[in-house]
Amino acid sequence: MGPFFIKNFTLEQLEQWVHALGEKPFRARQLFRHLYARNISSWSQCSDLSRAFRAQLECSATPDALAISRIDEAPDGTRKYLFRLHDGNFIESVIIPDPPRCTLCVSSQVGCALGCKFCLTGSIGLKRNLETAEIVDQVCQGLRDPELGPRINSLVLMGMGEPLANYDEVVRAIHIITNPNGLMFSHRRVTLSTVGLVPQLRRLGVETPVNLAISIHAADDKLRDELMPVNRTYPLSEIMRACREYPLPPRKRITFEYILLDGVNDSPRQAKQLVRLLEGVRAKVNLIAFNSHPGSHFRTPPMERILGFQDVLRKANLAAIIRKSRGNEISAACGQLGAKTQVENG
């Protein structure tokens, strides 16, 4: 039996818990405000709670679910947090400056079971799902960063793990993060990135209007099968059908993430395949040059090939952005998060 994390509760669940303790319902709203609007790290900071209630909280619940093990900073200002979990596992979160604002990249699992060939996290395998509190607390602790925290205005569930493989915990965390009495992030400033687990994808659009990003990385099943084994379970035809049926709010588009691998998926012919694949979807494409990591045989394409790929998409009237890699020097860029490796390497 692990510790009891109070951040596992939505406001409604917190009201039920407080009632079971014999306290008035308004105490739940007070606790919720302390946990999120004030972002407290100790019950001693809650001076408007009675001493007896604070003593009860000290004995039964902990405000924080994570402990900071290390913080690394890259020359470009990207900051990576290594968090130790209560069971001795580790996860990572990344704060990415984009002056004047910042984006926080959040993990949803310890490791990942999907084994995408270009991703360091996938090479670790899956240790376990994160609890709601462990997801939410990455945001709380990121917001406490003395320099970058006040500038965080966007969240991306693109860290370690596949968010839709931990569906219930992730969606509960999103509800807390976007609650106007919670962390108060707009749905428009929260993006969930998935490889395309179709059953959960169909639920997501109904249960939360956050932004959706699909990690696509190949436009034909044969190559995607090789790069992303999950494609054998949910091939491109099923993913694209789910995308076309997705209840997309007005003026929103689905983002398709495409990591460019030198000589593998970066030719003009493959760019044209991607154009055909995305036909009929309100889409934009994020092109990401592969970020190298130890043990990988993939390479980053030359810039002229990246620009040529982008040009094919733009000539087909597809919005295509080359996403600048941030935090390479501290292994904080896309596909480089591998907390186990970082800990082992000291």
- 213-to-119, 158, 210 alpha-carbon distances in Å: 17, 9, 10
- Residue 152 host element (H or E): strand 152-157
The three-class DSSP label of residue 49 is coil
- Which of 23, 92, 169, 257 is flagged as catalytic? 92
- Which of 46, 116, 243, 334 is flagged as catalytic? 334
- 329 is known as an active-site residue: no
The three-class DSSP label of residue 53 is helix
| CB 138 within 8 Å of CB 106 | yes
| CB 130 within 8 Å of CB 108 | yes
Of the candidates 238, 242, 235, the one whose C-alpha atom is nearest the C-alpha of residue 221 is 235
β-pairing verdict for 319-323 and 254-260: unpaired
- 334 is known as an active-site residue: yes
The structure tokens 């295509």 sit at 320
Of the candidates 203, 135, 209, the one whose C-alpha atom is nearest the C-alpha of residue 169 is 135
User: Which residues have a catalytic role annotated?
Assistant: 92, 334
